[in-house]
Structure 1
Amino acid sequence: MTMTAHAAPPAGESLRAQGLGADSLLSLRRVYWLRWAILGGQGLLLVWAETLAALQLPYRPLLTIFVLQALFNLLTAWRLRQHARAGSVPGDAELMGQLLVDLTALSAILFFTGGATNPFVSFYLPGLALAAAIVPWRQVVALALYALACYSLMLFEYVPLHLHNPDNAVVYHLVGMWLNFVASAVMIALFVARLSGVLREREAQLADARERLLREARVESLNAQAATVAHEIGTPLSTLAVIAGELRADAADAARGGTAIRDYLPDLDTVEQQLALCRGILARLREANRASALQPVGHWLPAFADGWQLRHPQARVDTTIAADAADVPIEPARTGQMLTILLDNAARSQQAAGRGDLPLRLSIALDRRSGPSELVLRVIDDGTGMPAALRARLGEAPVASTHGGQGIGAYLAQSVARQMGGRLLWQDRPEGGTVAELRLPAISDSLEHAA
């Protein structure tokens, strides 16, 4: 009798369908190997039964059953190869057929070895328990009824065991019960414990898939809102740009040198610069194709830092890059988006801490210490830091921050990082402030990767 344990998780999702197929194939493979193990154990008992227990067994029918089991297992091996070649998986009917053959073989062995008086008759129970893990409950009920019918029949019809010394019958029965318990415990401990581990792993995968889908849905919603805002705010910005241009022209007019508007000429220049920056940002939001050519990070970094500095004239950022990281190619659009969010948050944190005069530090290095190489981009500030509870949730969902933000930027940055195969981490600095670390897989061949 051979059965194994593996189950797919509940839920009506595509991941569940894929998991069911993989589980059924793995279950059939385990049934195959377990059947060989059981056959080996049965063969040893057959050889040692008369020597150790003075039992006279009907060798011919038992050997016939063992040979038929072996032939059926060879057929199972052929089915496994068929599934491997065709990329298919066994259905519930095929798995039930396998278990039905095992129950039939067990019943036949028990019939020729004492029937219900054989201490191994309770071996039906671990078999049915393991069967419950790999086939639907209706088929489990059918198998249980079949086992019950076989057991009931062997209460009346069986081939009695013959002992050389009948006085030892009770001792042999107790020893058989002990062996039956050991075998049952091993089967349940190995396969049911393995089943529970597989179920926990599958549940974790499902939870991760649900979380990922929810996160992507939120990101899509935020992207749609951003596109709507970009469309609706374009006209007001254009109007403001026209008005600011006219005011600047009036302020620059020498004929109006004695008027008050002349004093606002520097401020109007700044307003026009900021409006031009806003129009550039909106133009990027409207781009349908977000893909961009890869650039070496060392070539891209100065222009990015200058652009960010223009947006934050009251803040400063110092950049450093390791020599071995300068030639690593990156995706400018998405990497710039994430770094902008991190630098914006760092600048606000320093302003809230009253240390706005200190520069932010942006460092880029290549980490080859463990596994595939990673490009590590760190943003270090001297701000207020963040509570541990907020740090644990930041990037997983929009959360209210200590300096008035809602955490949407960090949430979007974490989502983009995960889409690129990376991750965002935040750590407190002992001397105050926060280290935001963006880790991205290093692209070894700049022309083989597409955004």
Structure 2
Amino acid sequence: MTTTAHAAASAARSAAPSAGDPIRAQGLGADSLLSLRRVYWLRWAILGGQALLLVCAETLAGLQLPYRPLLTIFALQAVFNLLTAWRLRQHARAGSVPGDAELMGQLLVDLTALSAILFFTGGATNPFVSFYLPGLALAAAIVPWRQVVALALYALACYSLMLFEYVPLHLHNPDNAVVYHLVGMWLNFVASAVMIALFVARLSGVLREREAQLADARERLLREARVESLNAQAATVAHEIGTPLATLAVIAGELRADAADPARGGTAIRDYLPDLHTVEQQLTLCRGILARLREANRASALQPVGHWLPAFADGWQLRHPQARIETMIAAEAADVPIEPARTGQMLTILLDNAARSQQTAGRGDLPLRLSITMEPRSAPRELLLRVIDHGTGMPAALRARLGETPVASTHGGQGIGAYLAQSVARQMGGRLLWQDRPEGGTVAELRLPATPDSSEHAA
């Protein structure tokens, strides 16, 4: 077990992604594409607001604006946004994502357009001059800090230049300048707050969600690394145990032949003839298990669960002659195809655990129940396999951890089988659950998709 733990830890460390791993790169790439799309739509919203202010400025505020240069700037912004839409379609067709330089270029164009508009509308005296800040907050959310610093220096340079060079605003009534300035500051605050609330806060939420997905992916890789380590250990054990089993089979065969020899009918060995038959059966079963392990990487044909279940139950009963098993299969589930190898592996682990739990509880004479039905409330349809025992049950804390990591159980197990079964179930698109029975014991539920994934099966 120490060797297994070290191998699992080593494999987990090698599988855990670093800051520059492909999983993280894929997540950040999707974020950059989402950021570009949001910048695109935000630019249309800002252009609409600017056009509305341009139309209403003279009527409501008595401002005389230079329409020609402003309309030229608006038109250039619209053309640039159409190019951005074309660029988004290119990324969608090629399956690519925008880089940091492309995002910085987008923000640089927006800051330049804002500076040009402010230049023709009062420069630093324009109450909307602080609109630089939401743009820089946006930049801080989507590009690296070095580029944010560069954009901040560029905005500072533009702002500083407009302290001295700008086209003054012309008011029809200069006495209302203070009122109009306060109203403009209020509008600027509202626009900035809406921009930050709807974009930056939403983007931060998406980034947090992406980090959670990356953490889940790392945990999944860690579990798979542990399973691969356990599989490697199992393959090594299977290779090493083959020779001793063959030796035992030869010895058992010779002893059975001696016990069956009529010439030795008076010797004590003849009394052990039934036991020797049982030993040979168990050794044949062990060799069959090793053969299945060697062929585990080969794709097995799907079988209807109703055709597969009786042979599986007989094989399990042969391994546990002291236990009893009762099977029940619903009519609607009998024709559902399953993968016999992996499904049998998981059910064997669940039934073995259930049998040990009943033995520990002193109820080994009671039968285990294995039922297979269809889950009526699930979409897509699920095959529900239940293993019900009358054993000792399990504490809630153990039940929550079982299958997620190897843990010691109340009847001496280490939880490795349940851990492997949970991993196989997830690979097949299903899951394992454990519940307490009010009458005592445990219900283990294996839920599998009613239509197995052909690609997963082929793998």
Q: TM-score range by the shorter chain?
A: over 0.9
Deviation at 1:343, TM superposition (A): 0.4
Structure 1 Cα separation of the partners of residues 2 and 276 of structure 2: 84
Q: Deviations over 1:383-440 (max 9, x none)?
A: 1111111111111111111110000000100111111111111111122111111111
Deviation at 1:60, TM superposition (A): 1.9
Q: Which moved more, 1:16-25 or 1:306-315?
A: 16-25
Q: Deviations over 1:268-287 (max 9, x none)?
A: 22111111111111121222
Conservation of the 8 A alpha-carbon contact between 1:367 and 1:376: yes
Quickly say closer, same or farther: Cα 1:44–1:4, change in 2 above 3 A. Answer: farther
Conservation of the 8 A alpha-carbon contact between 2:141 and 2:204: no
Conservation of the 8 A alpha-carbon contact between 1:329 and 1:446: no
The residue that corresponds to 1:5 in the other structure is 5
Structure 2 Cα separation of the partners of residues 120 and 376 of structure 1: 63
Q: Which moved more, 1:407-416 or 1:66-75?
A: 66-75
Q: Which moved more, 1:143-152 or 1:204-213?
A: 204-213
Quickly say closer, same or farther: Cα 1:281–1:21, change in 2 above 3 A. Answer: same
Q: Deviations over 1:327-358 (max 9, x none)?
A: 01111001000000000011111111111111
Deviation at 1:157, TM superposition (A): 1.3
Q: Deviations over 1:41-81 (max 9, x none)?
A: 01111111122222222222211211111111122222222
Conservation of the 8 A alpha-carbon contact between 1:328 and 1:444: no
Conservation of the 8 A alpha-carbon contact between 2:428 and 2:453: no
Unaligned runs of 5+ in 1: none
Unaligned runs of 5+ in 2: 7-14
Conservation of the 8 A alpha-carbon contact between 1:119 and 1:180: yes
With normalisation by structure 2, the TM-score equals 0.93
Conservation of the 8 A alpha-carbon contact between 1:25 and 1:89: yes
Q: Which moved more, 1:56-65 or 1:381-390?
A: 56-65
Quickly say closer, same or farther: Cα 1:450–1:366, change in 2 above 3 A. Answer: farther
Deviation at 1:164, TM superposition (A): 2.5
Segments ≥4 residues shifted beyond 4 Å? 1-10, 444-449
Conservation of the 8 A alpha-carbon contact between 1:318 and 1:360: yes
Conservation of the 8 A alpha-carbon contact between 1:4 and 1:134: no
Quickly say closer, same or farther: Cα 1:286–1:144, change in 2 above 3 A. Answer: same
Conservation of the 8 A alpha-carbon contact between 1:116 and 1:155: yes
The residue that corresponds to 2:199 in the other structure is 191
Q: Deviations over 1:200-220 (max 9, x none)?
A: 221121111111111111111
Quickly say closer, same or farther: Cα 1:328–1:5, change in 2 above 3 A. Answer: closer
Structure 1 Cα separation of the partners of residues 454 and 173 of structure 2: 82
Q: Deviations over 1:180-235 (max 9, x none)?
A: 11111111111122122211221121111111111111111111111111111111
Structure 2 Cα separation of the partners of residues 33 and 212 of structure 1: 35
Q: Deviations over 1:8-28 (max 9, x none)?
A: 998211112222332222222
Say whether residues 1:394 and 2:391 are aligned partners.
Answer: no
Conservation of the 8 A alpha-carbon contact between 1:96 and 1:139: yes
Quickly say closer, same or farther: Cα 1:10–1:105, change in 2 above 3 A. Answer: farther
Structure 2 Cα separation of the partners of residues 444 and 104 of structure 1: 56
Structure 1 Cα separation of the partners of residues 37 and 20 of structure 2: 25
The residue that corresponds to 2:12 in the other structure is none
With normalisation by structure 1, the TM-score equals 0.94
CA RMSD, 1 decimal: 6.3
Quickly say closer, same or farther: Cα 1:142–1:448, change in 2 above 3 A. Answer: closer
The residue that corresponds to 1:419 in the other structure is 427
Structure 2 Cα separation of the partners of residues 374 and 437 of structure 1: 12
Structure 1 Cα separation of the partners of residues 209 and 297 of structure 2: 37
Q: Deviations over 1:279-331 (max 9, x none)?
A: 11112122264311111000000000000001011111111111011001111
Deviation at 1:262, TM superposition (A): 2.3
Quickly say closer, same or farther: Cα 1:234–1:449, change in 2 above 3 A. Answer: closer
What SS does the aligned partner of 1:70 have? Answer: helix
Q: Which moved more, 1:72-81 or 1:378-387?
A: 72-81
Alignment partner for residue 50 of structure 1, among 51, 55, 58?
58
Conservation of the 8 A alpha-carbon contact between 2:389 and 2:443: yes
Say whether residues 1:148 and 2:147 are aligned partners.
Answer: no
Conservation of the 8 A alpha-carbon contact between 1:8 and 1:202: no
Quickly say closer, same or farther: Cα 1:325–1:106, change in 2 above 3 A. Answer: same
